[in-house]
Amino acid sequence: MADYANPKVLVTTDWVQEHLNDPKIRLVEVDVDTKAFDAGHIPGAVGFNWQTQLQDQLRRDIITKDNFEKLIGSAGIKRDDTVVLYGDNNNWFAAYAFWLFKIYTHEDVRLMNGGRAKWLAEEQRPLTVEATKVTPVEYKVDQVNTDLRAQVGEVLEGIRSGVKLIDVRSPDEFSGKVIAPPGMNETAQRGGHIPSAASVPWATAVNQDGTFKSADELREIYFKKAGVQPDKPVIAYCRIGERSSHSWFVLKYLLGVEQVKNYDGSWTEYGNLVGVPIER
């Protein structure tokens, strides 16, 4: 069985437990439901709130470089630390945070395979409510990698030039039957999908226990069935950019697709635009 392209970026729950006392390994939890972290987290972890800490609080945008530096520095994370991300909902926002760390070119970032659900399912794994003591540090970003992010102009251009678009939302969102999954606040004016996009729901990449499928299975899904070509540009999108971060991670790090971008504006931007083409 062929391996993941970058096996190092994925760590197991066993690995995390073995490294709980390693000062160079920094755990960061990012959840959809931010109650989870307060109720109990892996000892030593810090929690980021995706709404208030990972987004710009004025414009609709990711946090600025300055604010990222402040956030990471205040969590006591050094530029050469190994950051291990995990969270609920199959690591949706953990993957989103992973993408942010990579935009701000943090070298060693990893994802805990299976997320908090797997940790919780394994009886012997510790959880605590104790706040992790951190010593703030100066954290400096020397470079920003904008190649990981697609903005709307590039998406519209991509429709014309035949860039592979991957819609990772549920089949009902793809078809326009619903605009957002039930209970979600962020929606759009119109339902449907970006013309030419292939529907590959994010969940097709994971096993029952929340871990990623094998490299062979993933190749079958993305290369054979969805027609992704590993040496061609790809853009993944969803509704607000978190589920597509998850698929972006799979494509880039597990399958080694070099030119894959996450369109974080996603349907809540595209489905609100005036005059753009939509398919159902």
CA distance 257 to 114: 22
Stretch that binds another protein, among 22-30, 50-58, 135-143, 202-210 (CB under 8 A): 202-210
Return the active site residues: 238
CA distance 50 to 171: 25
CA distance 190 to 177: 10
Question: Could you give the dihedral angle defined by the CA atoms of residues 217, 223, 224 and 225, in that order, rounded to the nearest 10 degrees?
Answer: 90
Identify the residue among 9, 62, 95, 114 touching another protein (CB under 8 A): 114
For residue 250, the tally of other CB atoms under 10 A from its CB is 26
Nearest residue (CB) to another protein, 79 versus 116: 116
Identify the residue among 7, 136, 181, 227 touching another protein (CB under 8 A): 181
- State yes or no: residue 117 binds another protein (CB under 8 A): yes
Tell me the per-residue interface mask from 14 to 33 with another protein, x by CB under 8 A, - otherwise. Answer: ------------------xx
Nearest residue (CB) to another protein, 10 versus 103: 10
Minimum Å distance from CB 273 to another protein?
24
CA distance 230 to 117: 31
- State yes or no: residue 184 binds another protein (CB under 8 A): yes
Minimum Å distance from CB 72 to another protein?
25
Tokens of 68: 């990222």
Nearest residue (CB) to another protein, 81 versus 88: 88
Query: How crowded is the C-beta side of 160, counted as CA atoms within 13 Å?
Result: 6
Minimum Å distance from CB 37 to another protein?
9
* CB-based contact 155:235 (threshold 8 Å): yes
Q: Which long-range contacts (CB under 8 A, 24 or more apart) does 116-125 make?
A: 116/29, 116/31, 116/36, 116/86, 116/87, 116/88, 117/88, 117/90, 117/209, 117/210, 118/13, 118/209, 118/210, 118/211, 119/13, 119/16, 119/42, 119/86, 121/209, 122/13, 125/13, 125/17, 125/42
Minimum Å distance from CB 123 to another protein?
9
- State yes or no: residue 120 binds another protein (CB under 8 A): yes
Stretch that binds another protein, among 101-109, 120-128, 228-236, 271-279 (CB under 8 A): 120-128
Nearest residue (CB) to another protein, 26 versus 41: 41
Binding site for another protein (CB under 8 A): 32-33, 35-36, 39-41, 88-90, 114-118, 120-121, 126-129, 170, 181-184, 203, 206-210
